[in-house]
Amino acid sequence: MKIFIKDYKRSIIVSILCFVSFFSLNEVLTEKRYELFYFFSVLLSFLFLLLIYFDHVTNVKKYNQKQIFSLEKSYYLQHILNHYVVPVSLYLFSLLFIFLNNNFPLKIVIFFIVSVSLLICLINVRSYFLNKLTLEHSTHSIYDGMKLIGFFLASNALLHIYFNGSINIFFELIFLAVVTIIGIGLIFVRSGLYSKDIALTVILSSIIITLLAFLSIKVLNLTLVQTNIGLLTLFYFIVAVIHHKIEGTLTKKIVVNYLMFSLIIIALMYGMR
């Protein structure tokens, strides 16, 4: 345990600081001090980016992982993109979530989930440099969980912006498609898979997601929350199928298993009306 804390001290501190920053920014917003909120949001985002960057530089220097750059570029990219795009997106979308939502209890849960996700993500990044690849290997599927959280936060922000009348449905769907492409694209990048079929899969997934969004908003007239849960569940299912396909473990049984879990979610939604 001591070694664990020693190795991952920085990751633990950063995730705790993130939780505190979310909480403090929310307090600033509660006091309706918007200028202060904007100022600190930009400042903290910049600091977070710097932190992530210096963490990378330190990791490379301190753990003498300079040979990492001599690795095939795609191998380097597949890790680095996930190591940095995922935490930065999580942090930025969390700030948007704080700004756009009024629901305090939900915010607390999101702060907690995002902070824990950031902790796991940063531990994974560090373990990658520490050559503790067994840890990274055993927990890398958690990245897909983080993408799920990131997608929830991004789609929540986009839906808020649309429902507030700031963008029209066309741009809403375009942005949603882009978020889906980035989220699902990163799964393939993580595994170093690039092909025409994969590009088609990513585009098809984003079309399905945007189609559901269009139906929920325009045809079924669902509320923001109902649309958000629907999109999240569909994204979860797509990510799960892709995840297992990449791992070579995709079977009918696995698909049915995820379908059944989605069915439980729908049953719970029916009961919570």
Binding interface with other proteins (CB under 8 A): 32, 101-106, 108-110, 113, 117, 134, 137-142, 144-146, 148-149, 152, 159-160, 163-165, 221, 223-226, 228-229, 232-233, 236, 239-240, 243-244, 247-249, 253-254, 256-258, 260-261, 263-273
The Cα angle at residue 49 between residues 147 and 188, in degrees rounded to 5: 30
Work out how close the CB of 46 gets to other proteins at its nearest, in angstroms, rounded to a whole number. Answer: 27
* Range list of H helices, 131-195: 133-139, 142-163, 169-190
CB 94 within 8 Å of CB 111: yes
Residue type, 126: R
Work out how close the CB of 149 gets to other proteins at its nearest, in angstroms, rounded to a whole number. Answer: 5
> Which CB atom, from 58 or from 138, has the smaller least distance to other proteins?
138
* 113 Cβ contact list (under 8 Å, min separation 6): 149
> Which CB atom, from 24 or from 164, has the smaller least distance to other proteins?
164
> Which CB atom, from 45 or from 226, has the smaller least distance to other proteins?
226
> Which CB atom, from 56 or from 132, has the smaller least distance to other proteins?
132
Work out how close the CB of 9 gets to other proteins at its nearest, in angstroms, rounded to a whole number. Answer: 20
- HSE-CB at 164 with a 13 A cutoff on CA atoms is 9
Whole-angstrom distance, CA of residue 81 vs CA of residue 90: 13
Whole-angstrom distance, CA of residue 164 vs CA of residue 100: 10
> Which CB atom, from 56 or from 258, has the smaller least distance to other proteins?
258
Work out how close the CB of 152 gets to other proteins at its nearest, in angstroms, rounded to a whole number. Answer: 5
Work out how close the CB of 184 gets to other proteins at its nearest, in angstroms, rounded to a whole number. Answer: 13
> Which CB atom, from 170 or from 248, has the smaller least distance to other proteins?
248
Q: What is the C-alpha end-to-end distance of the chain, expressed in Å?
A: 45
- Read off the tokens for 200: 């088609």
Work out how close the CB of 87 gets to other proteins at its nearest, in angstroms, rounded to a whole number. Answer: 15
Whole-angstrom distance, CA of residue 23 vs CA of residue 111: 8
> Which CB atom, from 73 or from 253, has the smaller least distance to other proteins?
253
CB 241 within 8 Å of CB 263: no
At 31, which helix (H) or strand (E)? none
Work out how close the CB of 43 gets to other proteins at its nearest, in angstroms, rounded to a whole number. Answer: 23
